[in-house]
Amino acid sequence: MGSELSRWAAKDQIDEWIASVVANQTFADIGGIGVNSGNERITFAIQCGAKSATMIDFRPADYYEWDIFRRVCAQKEISNYREMASIDINDPQLYEKIGSYYVVHCTGVLYHMPSPLLAFENLATVVEKYLIVNTITVPERIENKFGVLNFSEGIAVFLPGIGEYERSILREHYQTKFGWSIDDVAPRLSNHEKTIMPWREEGQLSCWPYWWLFTDSSFRSLVQVMGFQILGEYKWEDHTLQIFAEKMRSSEQSLSEREGRSGEGDSPSTGEEFWARAGAYPRNRSSDSWRTSAYSTIRRLFLPCYRVALDRKLNWVVSVKNRLKRVLLRK
Ligand SMILES: C[S@@+](CC[C@H](N)C(=O)[O-])C[C@H]1O[C@@H](n2cnc3c(N)ncnc32)[C@H](O)[C@@H]1O
């Protein structure tokens, strides 16, 4: 931790993670002005010696929560931060619009996303090294006077789809625990247009209701499948799971690495090759089969050299190999 830390107390585990890596580095808080900036981390990152700190949010710059955020900064005598308003985490141009940051904090956002995988994929593009992310996770078992729900490891609950039995148990659970109603944050499809958080607004899927509840296990898997290694986590009120993760050298590279390892024996190296061998592609793809076998042969011949290159972190070899793959497999 930086020397600054002795002056600034960490209020929770997230602050400790930030303090451990942010000194002299770039930092971004994505979706950080919400809930009246109660969880913003810009001020703490700057107090810990961040080289720059950027608040990024979907809301336009004149939205009242931006003013609250500015007041919070002023009260802490922090002024050397940057603002980026009207930024949508789902935007495929996210990286082009906001650039990348050594440490990215993004909490309270993913469960509002209709397509959390798309949002997370975009998010990953703007993380250089460390990501602090969370979501609401559903307990593995909820039992109350309305019944019992069990959610096993790989589950993600699609809230627009829950039935009345699940709804009554979840309503009781959240009402008792936090005093809010599942019917407000995840309205019934039958009357959602008349509620405060409809699923669709002006013909678009909305970013305000709760769309998905992951289990702890499925959320961890989501972080990992996006190319991150989990370094730490903590659970708040058996309700949200916070994860501190490090980006693997590059998700593309790490996939190649795994591909390299699994390439022993005769197993197909990519999903595409697998389905091609299984004859699953429509006819017009079958003319590509010579390319697939050419690529497989080249890959098999050069696999030992490729492994050495991976071990020695010779990135140019990886990119030549990936380019070859793209050309031959038309990716
Ligand atoms: C529930 S608040 C979370 C605030 C804070 N990060 C926290 O953990 O309490 C959700 C925040 O995400 C922002 N947001 C919602 N949809 C977004 C999107 N598509 N892209 C970027 N930010 C978004 C909202 O404006 C809001 O600031």
185 Cβ contact list (under 8 Å, min separation 6) = 159, 197, 209, 210
Q: Cα(107) to centroid of ligand 1, in Å?
A: 8
What is the tally of structural domains in the chain? 3
Measure the CA–CA gap between 215 and 218, rounded to whole angstroms.
Answer: 5
In a domain, 99, yes or no: yes
- What ranges in the chain are assigned the alpha helix state H? 13-21, 42-47, 64-75, 94-98, 116-125, 164-178, 182-185, 216-225, 251-262, 271-277, 283-286, 289-311, 315-328
pLDDT digits (tens, 9 = 90+) for 282-323: 544 444 567 777 777 777 777 777 767 766 667 777 777 777
Q: 78-87, 126-135, 321-330: which range is least confident on average? A: 321-330
pLDDT at 45: 98
Smallest Cα–Cα separation from 154: which of 241, 223, 220? Answer: 220
Is there a single domain that holds both residue 243 and residue 257? Answer: no
Which of 112, 211, 236, when mutated, tests ligand 1's pocket best, judged by the most ligand atoms within 8 Å of its CB? 112
The rounded Å distance from CA 192 to ligand 1 centre is 21
Q: Which atom of ligand 1 is nearest to the CA of 90?
A: 19
| Residue 4, pLDDT above cutoff 70 | no
Query: Closest Cα to atom 16, ligand 1: which residue?
Result: 207
Q: How far, in Å, is the centroid of ligand 1 from the Cα of 222?
A: 19
pLDDT value of residue 256: 45
Rounded to an integer, the average pLDDT of 54-83 is: 97
d(CA 135, CA 214): 8
DSSP class of 8: S
Same domain for 239 and 107: yes
Best of 63, 83, 109 for a ligand 1 pocket test (most atoms within 8 Å of beta carbon): 109
Same domain, 12 and 120: yes
320 and 182 within one domain: no
Q: Is residue 111 one of the residues assigned to a domain?
A: yes
Q: Residue 270 — very low, low, confident or very high, per pLDDT cuts 50/70/90?
A: low
- Judgement on whether residues 221 and 99 belong to the same structural domain of the protein: yes
Are 220 and 91 members of one domain?
yes
Which residue would you say has higher pLDDT here, 244 or 8?
A: 244
Q: What is the pLDDT of residue 114?
A: 97
Task: Kindly state the tokens that stand for 213.
Answer: 């509840």
Range of the domain at 195: 141-205
Residues 219 and 195 both lie in one domain: no
DSSP string, 294-330: HHHHHHHHHHHHHHHHHHTT-HHHHHHHHHHHHHHTT
Residues 132 and 242 in one domain: yes
Q: How far apart are CA 284 and CA 325, in angstroms?
A: 19
For residue 85 the two structure tokens come to 């308003």
Q: 247, 268, 302: which is the final residue of a domain?
A: 247
Last residue of some domain: 186, 205, 224? 205
**63 and 115 co-located in one domain:** yes
**Distance from C-alpha of 226 to C-alpha of 124, rounded to nearest angstrom:** 7
Q: Are residues 16 and 58 in the same domain?
A: yes
Residue nearest to atom 13 of ligand 1 (CA): 31
User: Is residue 191 assigned to a domain?
Assistant: yes
Is 262 inside a domain boundary?
yes
pLDDT at 71: 98
| Range with lowest mean pLDDT among 56-60, 160-164, 179-183, 304-308 | 304-308
Per-residue confidence (pLDDT) for residue 279, from 0 to 100? 65
User: Angle, to 10 degrees, between the axis of helix 315-328 and the axis of helix 289-311?
Assistant: 170
Report, in angstroms and rounded to the nearest whole number, the Rg of the chain calculated over CA atoms: 23
Q: Could you read off the pLDDT of 73-105 as tens digits, one per residue?
A: 999 999 999 999 999 999 999 999 999 999 999
Ligand 1 atom at shortest distance from the alpha carbon of 33: 27
> Average of pLDDT values for 164-182?
97
Say what the pLDDT of residue 273 is. Answer: 65
**Ligand 1 shell residues, CB under 6 Å:** 31-35, 38-39, 57-59, 87-90, 107-109, 112, 207
Lowest-confidence segment of 52-66, 77-91, 195-209, 289-303 by average pLDDT: 289-303
Residue 162: how many CA atoms within 13 Å on its side-chain side? 23
Task: Read off the CATH number of the domain in which 18 is found.
Answer: 3.40.50.150
Whether residues 88 and 230 fall in one domain: yes
- Work out the percent of the chain whose per-residue pLDDT is above 70: 82
- What's the predicted TM-score (pTM) here? 0.80
User: What is the pLDDT confidence band of residue 326, given thresholds at 50, 70 and 90?
Assistant: confident
Token pair for residue 124? Answer: 């990953």
147 inside domain: yes
Looking at the domain assignment, is residue 210 inside a domain? no
* Pair (129, 149) in one structural domain: no
Q: Which atom of ligand 1 is closest in space to residue 38's alpha carbon?
A: 9
* Residue 64, in any domain of the structure: yes
Percent of the chain with pLDDT over 90: 69
